[in-house]
Structure 1
Amino acid sequence: MSTKTCDAVIIGGGIMGVSTAFQLARRGLKQVAILEKGPHVASGSTGQSSAVVRLRYANLEVTRLAHWSLQMFQQWTERLELVENRSGFSPVGVVWIPGDEDDDPSRVLANFAEIGAAGEMAPTAELQRRYPALNLCRHPIDLAGKTHDCGAPAALFWEAESGYADPQGTTEDLLRAGQALGVELHARHEVTSIVSSKGGTFEVSCADGQRFSAGRLLNAAGPWCNRVNALLDVQLPMNMQPTRVQMAVRNRPQDVSGDIPVFISAGDQVYGRPEARGSQLLIGSVAAEDESERVEDPDDFDTNGSPEFRERMMHKLHHRFVMQSRGRVHGYAALYTVNTDDWHPIVDAVGPEGYFVANGFSGHGFKLGPSMGAMIARRMTDQALPDDPEVDVGYFAADRSPIHSSGGVLA
């Protein structure tokens, strides 16, 4: 079988790989090939993402990247030059509910003010009027059955313009925008070998026998990143661990009325949002014990939610919404690639010249997908565009000191 020559080959058709392909094409690369082992884009971690689009992070740089992505979601069809918008971006707002411990928002407020992002300490009474069904109680539920008098602080941190999106539709839109510039998707193309030549090119072979050659090669393989790195004997200096993370969904009963935001509760250690155009409620955990189930083989893990997890999440969801019936509940599990050193990705050139990695987004990468695509493409080409994010491309370097993080998927 003949070898297809490309300007760049990207391994992985999740949001990072597809966004990067689009941005490489914007920089003039004519032949960009995405090799995806699944049947379509977003068939791995991206498609199972809760797809929350929020800005609050422990550091300014990642907040800046999230804000850049939010602005792109707000101008989606214009920025991608599309007629139809499949991103499903819903700016329902994000409400951060603190726990019993004091929550000092001063640093977060300063970061938002510096970049001009919409974030404020909103009066609790105003938020209750805006989201009448959501219980803003700061106290955690006692799963042993002990009751408490619910109480909320006078004000809560609120991201008025943030929300959530459809991960499948978002990635498909990025692909369509890239295809208009010459990007090619090769689905069901599992990479089985990579040969690096002294001339600075890579020959990538797939399970079906097809071969691709390029001077630039990006590993954006998500939970399969270690497997791809091993094909070139590349060992990253930080630990990338495929990790199983569960979520639960139930139908939304009629007594849960009005608008529902994305909510993040420090006390209950959960986040939630509307799902299926508001007809369902999705809930996930940010507790450390629910972000620590390591998976050795990303092709072999339980995709179903456990009964124990579903039961625990439903108790916490009932703390947030008064629901007379339990309703129909189902759970599912996804794989994230957790960088156990600092919960942030490595985006850098490593190993043979021309080889790049974008690994370890640790469950909070979806919202960064649009901005990270531009950042990765800039790293791969040394070419900046006027509308690129204003974050140093070396921020996620492989040899960095660990980035300050709040830990876990919230980073």
Structure 2
Amino acid sequence: MTAEEIHDVIVVGAGIIGLNIAFQLARNSDLRVLVLEKGPNVAQGSTGASSAVMRARYTHPEMAMAARDGLHAYRNWAEYTGLAEPLASYEGIGTLWMMGEDQETVAADVERMGRLGIAAECLDASSLTDRWPSLNPCSVEFDPADHRCARGGYFLFEPEGGFFDPVSAAQDLRDASRGRGVEIRFGARVDGLTGGESRADGVVLDDGTRIGAGLVVLCTGPWTASWLRANHIDIGWDFRPTRIQVLTRSLPADVGPLPVVGDGCGGIYFRPEAGGDRLLLGSILESDEKELVADPDSFDTRLDPEFRDPKLWALHHRLPDLEMKGRVTGLASMYTITADVHPVIGDAAVEGVLLASGFSGHGFKEGPAVGAMVAARVLGHSPAEFGTEAPIEFFAPDRRPLDTADHSVLA
């Protein structure tokens, strides 16, 4: 059976990765790009529940470059998207690392990040409390059963860090992509590839529709493992759909201002919401990234009390003036985690198929850079604007698992 229509590139998945890839291809070429999304709109998977924290402190310089170049796009969102009035805007409140580190460690990372063009500062406890009086500068591990605070640590601050609204960003990319000729179809579930065992020439939908393409890009997030398995594709990596929880609670005005905070002493991260009256709180512990999801289409999205309570205790340690009252809500979403908590980006085992998945909680901030990597790989040249120096080869499927200082979302 022949294809009913032909495109140059089909992108499967309209999350932040798929949309950035489609947009960067359209922004830098005249290719006919089609995005197929099984949900009713954009950001139906991990993107919609992302905390969308912006930071560039990573173990590997390649990851730091991808985050840096992603942040450049988000900080210049109207220019990147070409939209006169985008829905999303950058909340540049900075990102603060409170990891119980000494001066030598923080200063070394400040210098290392500076070589990559990433702004970073080393703060002592006094400097920290001068900027954010509500933050407790304790530098020892928090134990709710037996804890005595101690000052004296040093803290790394990324002044260009912050956060973004993930759903608005995806909606902006949807509109910007369509404005550049990308076709996006919702309710279009891709069942498999067409072509032979060694070469794909398109996809088939669940209703039997066949659509041809020179290249298929899989941005299938938590559905990657089941999708590859159903299509008998083995690239040597496990893509583990993993249940991840976040919660929010009220934030009185007298507690602010606050940056984004990564708190290694308490095992949490937190940031204000865009309106400033609520706080979002999540975990940076590897132990909270172990609950596998059997079916990404059907899993428990409720907040577990046994997750909630220890995180709130850690939050009140870091924000001692925060009242222990107020409505607490939360939800569970998914990361797609790999063995080394780094994404896999590159040619799959079938010619004509490229994979971008396994972002392990890093995907949102890196989305524009991933789009630039894939565009460079497809077009044979880097984008003239909003490109990236991060090499796609670093994330290739045939790489060895990477060594990282932390096998959690921190990487």
Kindly state the Cα deviation for residue 177 of structure 1 after the two structures are TM-superposed.
1.7
Q: Does 1:156 align with 2:162?
A: no
Q: Quick check: 1:252 aligned with 2:266?
A: no
Q: Which residue of 2 aligns with 1:46?
A: 47
- Residue aligned with 2:100, SS: coil
- The answer for the alignment partner of 2:177 in structure 1 is 178
Counterpart for residue 312 of structure 1:
310
Deviation at residue 179 of structure 1 after TM alignment: 1.1
What code does the residue aligned with 2:71 have?
A: L
> What is the match of residue 206 of structure 1?
205
TM-score, scaled relative to structure 1:
0.94
Give me the whole-angstrom Cα distance separating, in 2, the residues matched to 1:297 and 1:148: 43
- Cα distance in 2 for partners of 1:234, 1:97 equals 42
The 1-side partners of 2:274 and 2:58 are apart by: 27
Give the partner amino acid of 2:77: W
Shift of 1:139: 2.1
| Aligned equivalents of 2:108, 2:176: Cα separation in 1 | 37
In structure 1, the partner of 2:242 is: 243
Correspondence for 2:330 = 331
Query: What is residue 266 of structure 2 aligned with on the other side?
Result: 268
Does the C-alpha gap of structure 1 residues 194 and 120 become closer, same or farther in structure 2, counting only changes over 3 Å?
same
State the partner residue of 1:294.
Answer: 292
Distance apart, 1:195 and its partner CA: 1.5
Q: What letter matches 2:97 in structure 1? A: W
2:373 corresponds to which residue?
375
Q: Deviations over 1:84-130 (max 9, x none)?
A: 13223201011111237887134422332112221010243233222
**Are residues 1:351 and 2:352 paired?**
no
Q: Secondary structure at the match of 1:314?
A: helix
Counterpart pick for 2:275 among 273, 277, 302: 277
Native 8 Å contact 2:262 2:270 kept in 1: yes
Q: Deviations over 1:370-404 (max 9, x none)?
A: 11111122223333223321122211111112223
**Residues 196 and 352, structure 1, Cα contact 8 Å, conserved in 2:** no
- C-alpha separation between the residues in 2 aligned to 1:280 and 1:152? 30
Contact 1:223–1:337, Cα closer than 8 Å, also in 2: yes
2:364 — aligned with what? 366
Residue number in structure 1 paired with 2:86:
85
C-alpha distance in 1, partners of 2:378/2:16? Answer: 17
Quickly say closer, same or farther: Cα 1:255–1:386, change in 2 above 3 A: closer
Paired residue total: 407
User: Is 1:25–1:183's contact at 8 Å kept on the other side of the alignment?
Assistant: yes
Report 1:64-79 matches (<5 A).
Answer: 64-79=65-80
Q: Distance in 2 between matches of 1:227 and 1:361?
A: 16
Counterpart CA distance in 1 for 2:94 and 2:398 is 36
Aligned partner of 1:232 in structure 2 is 231
Report the residue type matching 2:367 in the other structure. Answer: G
Structure 1: state its 5+ residue gaps: none
Which runs of 5 or more residues in structure 2 are unaligned?
Answer: none
Distance 1:372 1:250 in 2: 33
Match of 1:196 in 2: 195
2: distance between equivalents of 1:208 and 1:72? Answer: 37
Partner of 2:295: helix, strand, or coil? Answer: coil
Letter aligned with residue 356 of structure 1:
L
Bigger shift: 175-184 or 217-226?
A: 175-184
Between 276-285 and 373-382, report the one with greater CA deviation: 373-382
Q: Which is worse superposed, 383-392 or 215-224?
A: 383-392
1:310 is displaced (CA, Å) by: 1.2
Q: Does 1:25 align with 2:26?
A: yes
With over 3 angstroms needed to count, the CA separation of the structure-2 counterparts of 1:199 and 1:289, relative to structure 1, is: closer
Counterpart code for 1:238: W
Change (3 A) 1:214 1:100: closer
Conserved? CA contact 1:19–1:175, under 8 Å: no
Shift of 1:39: 1.2
Q: Structure 2: how far apart are the matches of 1:368 and 1:175?
A: 17
Q: Which amino acid aligns with 2:135?
A: L
* Partner deviation per Cα, 1:178-203 (whole Å, 9 max, x = no partner): 11111111111111232224895523
Local SS of the residue matching 1:33: strand
For 1:25, what is the secondary structure of its paired residue?
A: helix
What secondary structure sits across from 2:409 in the alignment?
Answer: helix
Task: Supply the AA of the counterpart residue of 1:372.
Answer: V
Cα distance 1:110–1:100, how it changes in 2: closer, same or farther (>3 A)?
closer
TM-score after normalising by structure 2: 0.94
2 CA distance for matches of 1:274 and 1:323? 13
Deviation at 1:143, TM superposition (A): 2.4
- CA distance 1:103–1:307, change in 2 (3 Å): farther
**Aligned: 1:59 with 2:60:** yes
Kept in 2: contact 1:94–1:160 (CA 8 A): yes
SS class of match (1:409): coil
Map of 2:218 onto structure 1: 219
Q: State, as a whole percentage, how many aligned pairs show the same letter.
A: 36
- The answer to whether the Cα contact below 8 Å between 2:253 and 2:277 also exists between their aligned partners in 1 is no
Residues of 1 paired with 2:53 and 2:342: CA distance? 17
Q: How many angstroms apart in 1 are the aligned matches of 2:207 and 2:234?
A: 27
RMSD: 2.0
CA distance in 2, matches of 1:288, 1:332: 18
Match of residue 303 from structure 1: 301
Distance 2:30 2:224 in 1: 24
1:7 aligned counterpart, secondary structure:
strand
Q: State the distance in 2 between where 1:200 and 1:102 align.
A: 54
